Amino acid sequence: MWKEGHPSHNENEYFVRRDAEWLKAQRALLDAKRAAKYETILCPRCGDKLTPKSFRDVIVEACGKCHGVWLDAGELAMLAHEPERELLRFAAELDGSRRAD
């Protein structure tokens, strides 16, 4: 059984600290991969560079030239649960319009 001050207490702290450091490194690696992805991704329609746009927890890729919006797997399903008014407002922002009302 675990008791404070015993060697197993220090061991538990070590593994918690090690796991936290590993998680931090994995998050940094994922952020770097995402950043590299956005540097090279091109619009399938016109070939212009796509720009990531965030709506809630979903990041879509938008083309400033042809105004295409591209979604990764599962993103459409995530957006389908959002209120229509909010989606229209986001669409207007992507299009460069002022209002979606």
- Alpha carbon of 79 to those of 57, 68, 72, 91: distances in Å? 9, 16, 12, 12
- Shared domain check, 8 and 51: no
- Shared domain check, 35 and 46: no
- Shared domain check, 83 and 46: yes
- Shared domain check, 69 and 51: yes
Domain extent at residue 69: 41-101
Q: Domain count for the chain, please give it.
A: 2
Pairing of strands 69-70, 58-63: antiparallel
Would you write out the chain's pLDDT as a tens digit for each of its 101 residues? 556 656 666 888 889 999 999 988 888 887 787 777 656 688 999 999 888 898 988 888 899 899 999 988 888 888 888 899 999 999 999 887 544 44
- Shared domain check, 47 and 29: no
Q: Tell me how far apart the alpha carbons of residues 26 and 24 are, in angstroms, rounded to a whole number.
A: 5
- Shared domain check, 100 and 61: yes
Q: What is the pTM of this model?
A: 0.53
